[in-house]
Structure 1
Amino acid sequence: MGAENPGIVRLKCCVKDYDWGKLGKESSVAWLHAKNSGEVIRDDDPYAEFWMGSHDSGPSYVVVPVGNGGSGDLVSLKEWIERNPAVLGDGVLKKWGPNLPFLFKVLSVAKALSIQAHPDKDLAAILHKQEPGVYKDDNHKPEMALAVTQFEALCGFVGIEELERVLHNVPEIVEVIGSACADQVLHVSKQDDEKKSKEVLRNLFTELMLVNKATISDVISKLISRLSRKREVAELTDKEQLVLKLEKQYPEDIGVLAAFLLNYVRLNPGEALYLGANEPHAYIYGECVECMATSDNVVRAGLTPKHRDVQTLCSMLTYNQGFPEILSGVVSNPFTRKYIPPFDEFEVDHCVLPKETSTVFSEVPGPSIYVVMAGAGTLCTASSEECITEGDVLFVPANTEITAASDSGMNLYRAGVNSQFFEPSKFAASK
């Protein structure tokens, strides 16, 4: 296992059973994992995330062939890359060392994930040192979610005008934060500098998130009663309907009120949302492909039974306001769209091959992971051919051209290092 290119290798991947996942056969994650592992789907168990990568919290394993095509031992992808660092390519090795810089996932979301943010590199290093059992590594975690079905999320803070409407229309928030804090928001003008606007929003959000449990219980009870009365005489707004749904999932949780402060984003299949460090968000419902830097660091503060670190979350956020950018991808060939976020670690391709068609993924200077979501076909290099079907996950080394073909149709996704990282000007800077 030296510097020689080992070609395409198959991966056995990890599944996560977080309680927000879809149950049994309703979950795409369950089907993928069953096909990938050969395990039987358990109808009453949640299947939340399918992990494809080298992170210690959910490692993938390389199926090492023995003899002439026989199935052999499993070696962790992390260990296999350390034995075969050339598979990453020179540029990736120089930037990130013998580590896969991205983590690829499929998510099946039945109920809301926590209101959360991911730390930047400096904060990640501090948190990992202080609480390694909670913050699993010292890396940052920029990420992108690409909708497979219609997908709902909360992402980033609403703009100042929308925030003013919230304070006029949601008296329960004013009751929690106090009229003085609310007045600060209402008196922020367009002439005020960005720093002042962020300071006012930080004060409001922190006051809200640190409220005591007795007050939360009382105020959310009032909110639900008011919205129930309103529903009898008028149509609720989309955000109000969402809040009622969240309260059923997480009763007496401050995240229910905090949802009014965040943008409600609904992605159509094929649309993507990216999230930088220190930006608040919460996935609500649907299925997506997700890619991120290789990290498992999450700071939570609401809509969760898990560990909360409210002070850290409130102190780390950027407090940027406004609706997030939605990516629709760019056409790279008749069957493939490419999604390029503003992060070096990753990009994602989505390829839908009709029957009796093929397409070429040109060689790139970094590694790739492919996952087959539906259908069947082949992945070919200059010297090998792999028959693939739903649930197959394959690692492709750097500098390997791939031809994907299908007789009956196939739907697959590819994750790789951001192609813009390899552009001459950026690549030279990375050295």
Structure 2
Amino acid sequence: MYLLDNPLRPYAWGSVTAIADLLGREPSGSPEAELWIGAHPASPSVAMLPDGTRTPLDQLIAADSRAALGGAGSRSGDRLPFLLKVLAAESALSLQVHPSLEQAAAGYDAEEAAGVPVDAAHRNYKDRSHKPEMLFALTRFDALCGFRPLEESAAVFGFLAGLCEPGSEEAGLLGTVATDLGSGAPAALRNAFEALLSAGVGIVAAVEAAVAFPREIEPIDRDFAGYFTDAAATVAELGSQYPGDAGVLVALLLNRVSLQPGDVIHLPAGHIHAYLSGLAIEVMASSDNVLRGGLTSKHVDVPELLRTVIFEPLALPSVPAATNLLDQELYLPPYEEFQLQRIVVHHGGDPVPLAQNGPAVVLVVSGSVRLDSPKSDLSLERGQSGFLPDIEQPVLVHPVQGAGSPAVLFAVTCGTPSGTEGVRR
């Protein structure tokens, strides 16, 4: 087992203090958006070897992939199939969608054949993997997740059209979108998405101004009064961060959710989303493929985006906690690449077995623990993380003697774990 040193991504939307506070260290003084724990070649963790040397985790795995990955290596091309992140959003991330496995492979190969550098700003596909993901909220976490029901969006856009100057271009656009959505036609959602995505800066700015200084209008539908309030708040919030960005209007097609600590959601390929604010553990297939649709200064490829988005309403894709016969707290999304385990160990209590299926990474967010396998031990304190090769199984998590409060850690391993027969949700 190996202690890890993990890279921080200093994106502008990140929090200056949230990740540092969680892990018990001093802030760097700059935005800290994502802590990556894994072996993605763009930012691999660094493993500490017994002789004191350091090596990137992807290179460590490649040196003996059978010992590191076990049977998971044959399914993942001898790559660690998952990536764990700590995500801290102080402001909104881009509206984005992730490709399917087939689309990612085809897109990557096409850009490679075209000679597009993998680090080029206009490159869409950084690797050949899809990127399903799951998010465990550590604080209140606000997000936009998938398209909401058409009748809700129709009411919202009709309301916004009524706030705009009668006969104006913005009132016409919003009114047309409301009418199309209200029709329920098969192409209505795609047509609305394209129309809003192409809205010019002037139109978006006019809607933002209308929301900031609304005129008195008659309620359109009292059944949707709460949605009107939320829509106005979303326009004001996102408009202050990305003034004139068409993504401000596109966002109103999406479900807005406020997750509470411990709530978990997953997002499959093709469903557009944006994280707005909060601190979370994020788990995903090991990929950096993102197609953006707004709320960003980065590359937006509209044709490729339209080929990727699934134009269907999405119910909140929550992931309930499950327990197995050993009372392990598990989160099992419908993906073979990963699952998440939250482990709490108490001073004086029994060790807790790790629900490991292949390789694993762990992150301690409170207290101290000792990981014990037939081959080695690894002690971890708050803020530290480790890589557990497949060959180390089985692993027990022991409380550190003399520690006061319970220790809490998160462990990610491959999906479809062994030993979960009789899972209860």
Shorter-normalised TM-score: what interval?
A: 0.7 to 0.9
**CA distance in structure 2 between the aligned counterparts of 1:119 and 1:206, rounded to whole angstroms:** 18
Give the letter aligned to residue 18 of structure 2: S
Given that residues 158 and 175 in structure 2 are in contact (C-alpha distance below 8 angstroms), is that contact kept between their aligned partners in structure 1?
A: no
The CA deviation at 1:382 is 2.6
Mapped partners of 1:161, 1:358: distance in 2? 53
Aligned to 2:398: 405
Q: Which residue of 2 aligns with 1:153?
A: 143
Asked if structure 2 preserves the Cα contact closer than 8 Å seen for 1:117 and 1:298, the reply is: yes
Task: Return 5+ residue gaps in structure 2 as ranges.
Answer: 219-224
- Quote how far apart the aligned CAs of 1:309 are: 2.1
Structure 1 pair 365–245 and aligned structure 2 pair: CA distance change class (3 A): closer
Amino acid at match of 2:42: S
| Cα distance in 2, alignment partners of residues 386 and 327 from structure 1 | 30
Which letter does structure 1 place at the counterpart of 2:132? Answer: P
- Aligned counterparts of 1:115 and 1:363: Cα–Cα separation in 2: 34
Alignment of 1:85-100 (within 5 A): 85-100=65-80
Q: Tell whether 2:251 aligns with 1:287.
A: no
Which residue matches 2:179? 183
Q: TM-score, normalised by structure 1?
A: 0.84
Rate the CA distance shift 1:320–1:359 in 2: closer, same or farther, 3 A. Answer: farther
The question of whether the paired residues in 1 share the 8 Å contact of 2:153 and 2:178 is answered with no
Which of 30, 38, 41 is residue 27 of structure 2 equivalent to? 41
Asked if 1:142 is matched to 2:136, the reply is no
2:216 is aligned with 1:210: no
Deviations 1:270-293 (A, max 9, x none): 111101111100001111000111
Question: How far did 1:300 drift?
Answer: 0.9
Confirm or deny that 1:103 pairs with 2:100: no
Is the Cα–Cα contact under 8 Å of residues 135 and 264 in structure 2 kept in the other structure? Answer: yes
* 1:92 Cα deviation from its structure 2 partner: 0.9
The alpha carbon displacement at 1:421 in A equals 8.7
C-alpha distance after superposition, 1:190-210 (max 9, x if no partner): xxxxxx53x210011011101
For the pair 1:267 / 2:259, whether they are aligned, the reply is: yes
Q: Cα deviations across residues 155-205 of structure 1 (Å, max 9, x unaligned)?
A: 0000122122123212169736365554332222xxxxxxx53x2100110
Which of 130, 147, 155 is equivalent to 1:165? 155
Amino acid at match of 1:100: L
1:237 is paired with a residue whose SS is helix
Amino acid at match of 1:167: F
Once residues 301 and 199 of structure 2 are traced to their aligned partners in structure 1, the CA distance between those partners, rounded to angstroms, is: 14
CA contact (8 A) 2:345 2:352 kept: no
Change (3 A) 1:422 1:280: farther
- Counterpart CA distance in 2 for 1:284 and 1:403 is 37
Query: Residues of 1 paired with 2:6 and 2:12: CA distance?
Result: 19
Partner of 2:101: 121
Q: How big is each residue's C-alpha offset from its partner over 1:241-293, in whole Å with a ceiling of 9 and x where there is no partner?
A: 23312211221222222221100111111111101111100001111000111
Flag the 1:378–1:212 CA change in 2: closer, same or farther, 3 A: same
Q: Which residue of 2 aligns with 1:429?
A: none
Distance 1:52 1:186 in 2: 45
Cα distance in 2 for partners of 1:421, 1:93 equals: 16
Distance 1:245 1:102 in 2: 33
Indicate if the aligned counterparts of 1:174 and 1:182 stay in contact, CA closer than 8 A: no
The 1-side partners of 2:175 and 2:369 are apart by 63
Stretch deviating more after TM superposition (103-112 or 397-406): 397-406
CA distance in 1, matches of 2:216, 2:179: 28
3-state SS, counterpart of residue 367 of structure 2: strand
Aligned CA distance change for structure 1 residues 140 and 29 (closer, same or farther; 3 Å): farther
- SS of structure 2 residue aligned to 1:22: coil
Aligned ranges 1:205-354 → 2 under 5 Å: 205-226=193-214, 237-332=229-324, 336-354=328-346
- Inter-partner Cα distance in structure 1 for 2:418 and 2:189: 35
Q: CA deviation at 1:89?
A: 4.3
Q: Distance in 1 between matches of 2:302 and 2:281?
A: 28
Q: CA deviation at 1:340?
A: 0.6
Q: TM (normalized to structure 2)?
A: 0.85
The answer on 1:80 being equivalent to 2:77 is no
Distance 1:420 1:320, change over 3 A: farther
Contact 2:146 2:273 in 1 (8 A): yes
Counterpart amino acid of residue 61 in structure 1 = V
Shift of 1:306: 1.9
- Of stretches 209-218 and 234-243 in structure 1, the one that deviates more from structure 2 is 234-243
Mapped contact 2:134–2:333 kept (Cα < 8 A): yes
Q: Residue 69 of structure 1 corresponds to which residue in structure 2?
A: none
Aligned to 2:188: 200
Amino acid of the structure 2 residue aligned with 1:226? P
Contact 2:156 2:231 in 1 (8 A): no
Write the deviation string for residues 51-106 of structure 1: whole angstroms up to 9, x where unpaired. 0111122111111111xxxxx21111111111111234442122112100001100
Q: Distance in 2 between matches of 1:102 and 1:325?
A: 20
Change (3 A) 1:141 1:364: same
- CA deviations 1:323-369 (Å, max 9, x no partner) are 22212311347874211111110001111223322333256441000
Q: CA 1:228/1:49 → structure 2, altered by over 3 Å: closer, same or farther?
A: farther
Please tell me whether residue 361 in structure 1 is matched to residue 353 in structure 2: yes
- The 2-side partners of 1:157 and 1:420 are apart by 32
Q: Which has the higher strand share?
A: 1
| Matches of 1:387 and 1:417, distance apart in 2 | 23
2:74 counterpart SS class: helix
Deviates more, 1:246-255 or 1:309-318: 309-318
What amino acid maps onto 2:292 in structure 1? Answer: R
- 1:344–1:227 Cα change, 3 Å: farther
